[in-house]
Amino acid sequence: MLQLITILNRCHRFPGFVYQQARFSSDHKSIEIAVRPRKGSKAVCSRCHQPAPGYDQLAERRFEFIPFWGFLVFLLYSMRRVDCRRCQAVVVEEVPWGDGKRTLTKAYMLFLARWARRLSWKETAEAFRTSWDKVFDAVEHVVTWGLEHRVLGQIDAIGVDEIQYARGHKYLTLVYQIDLGVTRLLWIGKERTIESFQGFFTAMGKDVISKIVFVCSDMWEPYLKLIREHCSEALHILDRFHIVANMNKALDNVRAEETSRMKREGRAPVLRKSRWLLLRRSENLGTDQHFRLRDLLRYNLKTVRAYLLKEAFQQLWEYSSPAWAGKFLDQWCRQTMRSRIEPMKKIARSLRNHRELILNYFRAQKLLSSGVVEGLNNKAKVTMRKSYGFRTYRVLELALYHSLGKLPEPDSTHDFF
Ligand SMILES: [Zn+2]
């Protein structure tokens, strides 16, 4: 008969240790497998990773293994302590199936972490009858390993993005690699200040930074300043996605302000429920919405004029020559400055100030896949929703690296799918 020990020896075997026996726990809900050191094998010091003479043995510990046919599975083992001459201390031994800190085996952590990429962390915990904290531990283990072992290599292009969290009160700075063949999350910073973004350049090192050819970002001043300093040779591009997002924000301010003013003056609420009509690209509207938009556009409202300016601006992206794009941009800014709509004028002023960085978009157009930062930004938002539980910075950091970092995974004795 095929025994559990035989299966374990096939998929989770470590030199120096043997599986002794498998039995049900007293409540019959879990399987416990006793592990002991192989006779004559020396314990390994967990500090210097070298074999060392034994000192004593600690009480039995339970290590959680991958559940099997509806039973929780535990490895039971009494850790030895060694009297290590190299470290000149009594140190607990290193065991190949665990990391010394956590009660989960490495195999189980990798297993849970893989599922936590597909399901939310909460769903993962429920599916495997474990806790949210253990899923957190698993992801932390796998991400830490991945960050220590990843290879940065040559990075041609980066995109700098920010994302709001904690109900919009706080910002994260995300830096992506956006090379044509490789897109991945490289770095996450708390806040979006000069000090925090400086951390990116320190973490990557001068060697990697100096070879970057393209940088995409939005108009946030700390980003602009540090990119000028560190990537002076790179072509700095103001990202289309961020420019469009800023313009939508301005339009939304105009709409909100005008809506409440009309209400105060007791006028008909023609702008009610117009938010998405105005923010969505007109080609993405349904027939019904098209009619409603057409009705709305008959009114002589600030919102309508701001909307038409925004729609006219879209034409910019059709140009392929930087010179013609520049002429169009100047023309649009002139027209907008005469519009007497302050949020739109603010956009025009800012576009004028960053004219060259915007035109760099056209200089680099053939070399960068546009929309890549937007796509990554959307993925990041989905990931943040899926990691719910405790939305601390650490949780978000781990979740984002885990799903967008394309990190290498710890080695495994067997593919536990
Ligand atoms: Zn040692």
Distance in Å, CA 410 to ligand 1 centroid: 23
Distance in Å, CA 87 to ligand 1 centroid: 4
**Are the C-beta atoms of residues 373 and 241 closer than 8 Å to each other?**
yes
Report the alpha-carbon distance of residue 6 to residue 97 in Å, rounded. Answer: 17
Residue 24 has pLDDT above 90, yes or no: yes
**Are the C-beta atoms of residues 152 and 211 closer than 8 Å to each other?**
no
**HEC profile for 168-186?**
CCEEEEEEEEECCCCEEEE
Distance in Å, CA 60 to ligand 1 centroid: 22
Which pLDDT belongs to residue 310?
Answer: 93
Distance in Å, CA 16 to ligand 1 centroid: 18
**Above pLDDT 70, what percent of the chain?**
98
Distance in Å, CA 86 to ligand 1 centroid: 5
Distance in Å, CA 42 to ligand 1 centroid: 13
Distance in Å, CA 95 to ligand 1 centroid: 14
Average pLDDT over residues 182-211: 93
Distance in Å, CA 65 to ligand 1 centroid: 27
Q: What share of the chain is helix, strand, coil (3-state, %, to 5)?
A: 50, 20, 30
Distance in Å, CA 98 to ligand 1 centroid: 18
Which pLDDT belongs to residue 273?
Answer: 78
Reported confidence tier of residue 1, pLDDT bands at 50, 70, 90: low
Compute, in degrees rounded to 10, the torsion defined by CA atoms 107, 113, 115, 118: -160
Reported confidence tier of residue 341, pLDDT bands at 50, 70, 90: very high
Report the alpha-carbon distance of residue 417 to residue 414 in Å, rounded. Answer: 9
Distance in Å, CA 89 to ligand 1 centroid: 7
**Tokens 């392929």 belong to which residue?**
320
Average pLDDT over residues 286-304: 83
**Are the C-beta atoms of residues 97 and 107 closer than 8 Å to each other?**
yes
What is the DSSP pairing of strand 235-238 with strand 214-217?
parallel
Query: What phi and psi values does residue 298 have, to the nearest 5 degrees?
Result: -75, -20
Report the alpha-carbon distance of residue 164 to residue 350 in Å, rounded. Answer: 22
Which pLDDT belongs to residue 169?
Answer: 82
Q: Give the model confidence (pLDDT) of 27-51 as tens digits.
A: 999 999 999 999 999 999 999 999 9
Distance in Å, CA 48 to ligand 1 centroid: 4
Type of residue at 112: L
Distance in Å, CA 75 to ligand 1 centroid: 25
One DSSP character per residue, 267-282 reads ---TTTT-HHHHHS-G
Distance in Å, CA 93 to ligand 1 centroid: 9
User: Has this prediction a pTM greater than 0.75?
Assistant: yes
Which pLDDT belongs to residue 388?
Answer: 65
DSSP state at residue 45: B
Q: Which of 73, 88, 50, 85 is nearest to 4 (CA)?
A: 73
Distance in Å, CA 83 to ligand 1 centroid: 8
Distance in Å, CA 15 to ligand 1 centroid: 19
**Tokens 């009594």 belong to which residue?**
90
Report the alpha-carbon distance of residue 192 to residue 198 in Å, rounded. Answer: 10
Q: Which of 227, 195, 252 is nearest to 360 (CA)?
A: 227
Q: Which of 51, 65, 121, 124 is nearest to 98 (CA)?
A: 65
Q: Picking from 146-155, 231-240, 336-345, which range would have the lowest pLDDT averaged per residue?
A: 231-240
Q: Which residues are near ligand 1, the ion (C-beta closer than 5 Å)?
A: 45, 47-48, 84, 86-87
Q: Which of 109, 106, 118, 172 is nearest to 403 (CA)?
A: 118
One DSSP character per residue, 329-376 reads HHHHHHHHHTS--HHHHHHHHHHHHTHHHHHHHHHHGGGS-TTHHHHH
Q: Which of 173, 263, 154, 183 is nearest to 218 (CA)?
A: 173
Q: Give the model confidence (pLDDT) of 52-99 as tens digits.
A: 999 999 999 999 999 989 999 999 999 999 999 999 999 999 999 998
Distance in Å, CA 45 to ligand 1 centroid: 5
Q: Picking from 130-144, 170-184, 192-206, 282-296, which range would have the lowest pLDDT averaged per residue?
A: 282-296
Which pLDDT belongs to residue 50?
Answer: 96
Q: Picking from 58-62, 134-138, 248-252, 282-286, which range would have the lowest pLDDT averaged per residue?
A: 282-286
**Are the C-beta atoms of residues 71 and 31 closer than 8 Å to each other?**
yes
Distance in Å, CA 146 to ligand 1 centroid: 25
Residue 126 has pLDDT above 90, yes or no: yes
Residue 78's DSSP bridge partners are 60
Q: What are the structure tokens assigned to 5, written together?
A: 């020990």
Average pLDDT over residues 318-344: 94
Q: Give the model confidence (pLDDT) of 355-411 as tens digits.
A: 999 998 888 875 676 678 888 999 998 888 877 655 688 999 999 999 999 999 998
Distance in Å, CA 17 to ligand 1 centroid: 20
Type of residue at 52: A
What is the DSSP pairing of strand 54-68 with strand 71-84?
antiparallel
Distance in Å, CA 36 to ligand 1 centroid: 21
Distance in Å, CA 354 to ligand 1 centroid: 58
Which pLDDT belongs to residue 366?
Answer: 58
DSSP state at residue 39: T
Which pLDDT belongs to residue 76?
Answer: 97
Which pLDDT belongs to residue 242?
Answer: 86
**Are the C-beta atoms of residues 7 and 31 closer than 8 Å to each other?**
no
Report the alpha-carbon distance of residue 189 to residue 169 in Å, rounded. Answer: 15
